[in-house]
Amino acid sequence: MEVLKNLKPYEVFRFFEEICSIPHGSGNTKQISDYLVAFAKDNKLWYRQDAMGNVIIKKPGTAGYEDSKPVIIQGHIDMVCEKDADCDIDFATEGLRLREDGTFVFAEGTTLGGDDGIAVAFAMAILADEGTIAHPAIEAVFTVDEEIGLLGATAIDCSDLEGKLFLNLDSEEEGHLLVSCAGGATANLWIPVCYETDTHFDRAVEVRVTGATGGHSGVEINKQGANASKALGRVLHEIMKEVDIRLVSLAGGMKDNAIPREASAVLAVADKKDIETITHLVNKYDAIFSKEFDKTDADICVLVKAVDTVCQHMTKDVTKRFVQALMLIPNGVIKMSNDIEGLVQTSLNLGILEITQKDIHFGFSVRSSVSSEKDMLLENLAVVAEAVSADFDIKGAYPAWEYKKDSYLRNVMIETYRQLYKEEPVVEAIHAGLECGLFSDKIKDLDCVSFGPWIYDIHTPKERLMIASVERTWNYVLEVLKKLK
């Protein structure tokens, strides 16, 4: 240990520096997984390593805790690898170049991997302790490839885990106790395209919705701003009621979990007057959207311009089905939680709108902290697909971590926080996915809380871990373990 040797808690930062010296980007976790196995062997601890590289290490309870219920401590061992343009590090073969300035730990030119290396370091420091920490039996669970789809947690076998109390150290805001997260899925709808050549439709215009704020469909869906693709659908529906149009091309977002900031469609028409009508309707909706979204999307606007004459366009039937689908698809916040104030419980984001070689493709991110509502929303999309004669599928489904109204662990952690810091922790849920949902699905009656020290600008080369927050969180973990007798 060189760079972090003067930081406290010493054991936590010692293990964190060792972890940072080993390449462990998502998809490249074999070496860090084997490091954990070697650690278990050196400390004569029970362990299991599976084919993916997930590792479980167990340690008996200390004196006086022999009959206490086991506690699971969990974090993921992969990190997001991002670097500055002028950084020459090779993430596949090199460790990180750690630095500290007395306030923060960071890595020179790269992400730090505090998400979630600090969880691994906490667990290892507890597992390596030789009697100074009072604790029940510990079952430390280290998962791979969380950052690319919760893959390790999805595959891990939990049959030899006995614990029902689950400490997930994968949160980045000290003093915030996460107690629920959304489950989700990616859904896709495809309308087969059919082209024709009709010389009567020899004029074309582009209609574009632009200037929407956009954002992450989990974190920022609660702002209830404009989805540019859905807004485009409203304009096209109004146009189609007054003008005979044919769809030529379209675009509206490239990621299912990002709220589209702009969307456009090129339309073929048969008469100059049609363009005048479309222009009038576009101006009408430009004013409507400016009023509807004045608080969330101040720069939103709808534009129209003539484009080059086209020879080929989609059939009237395909055009109609496309516009109908855009109008029928639900979007945005579907339901707010009745248990946690301000929490989005269920949402849907139309994130992708594109033409492939054979289809018009709609891509959705579906989220809910109530599994039955997620299933209902997916079924809703399936019904829309059937109504417009489209194909439909669901991929990458993961379960919700539902709010537990009666949580022993949450109560202990709240009371411990009050005693240590003389203030209330923030107890909240997030409208995004955590590994807690997958473990709650695998282990009956699991009682979970997710928390951690302050980490800023995660997944960017500006990522930094607050040193004092690590020490406070470490003391908090030790006090919680002491109380779980």
Which positions are annotated as active-site residues?
78, 146
Both tokens assigned to 124: 């290892």
Using alpha carbons only, what angle is made at residue 246 by residues 241 and 248, rounded to the nearest 5 degrees? 135
Q: How far is CA 168 from CA 141, 178, 437, in A?
A: 9, 9, 11
> 278 Cβ partners below 8 Å, 6+ apart?
205, 207, 239, 243, 267, 269, 304
- 336 close to 344: Cβ distance less than 8 angstroms: yes
Label residue 469 left, alpha or beta by phi (over 0 means left) and psi (-120 to 50 means alpha).
alpha
- 189 close to 387: Cβ distance less than 8 angstroms: no
Cα dihedral 462, 10, 165, 155 sign: positive
CB atoms within 10 A of CB 48: 15
Q: How far is CA 116 from CA 154, 186, 232, in A?
A: 17, 25, 40
* Alpha-carbon Rg for the chain in angstroms: 26
Q: Report the distance separating Cα 309 and Cα 304, nearest Å.
A: 15
Q: Report the distance separating Cα 351 and Cα 363, nearest Å.
A: 6
Q: Report the distance separating Cα 59 and Cα 78, nearest Å.
A: 23
Q: Report the distance separating Cα 104 and Cα 107, nearest Å.
A: 10
Q: Which helix (H) or strand (E) holds 139?
A: strand 138-143
Instruction: Using alpha carbons, select from 96, 131, 137 the residue that is nearest to residue 117.
Output: 96
> 51 Cβ partners below 8 Å, 6+ apart?
none
Amino acid at 274: D
CA dihedral 375, 376, 379, 384 (to 10 degrees): -140
- 418 close to 424: Cβ distance less than 8 angstroms: yes
Query: What is the DSSP secondary-structure string of 227-291?
Result: -HHHHHHHHHHHHHHHS--EEEEEEEEE-TTEE-S-EEEEEEES-HHHHHHHHHHHHHHHHHHHH
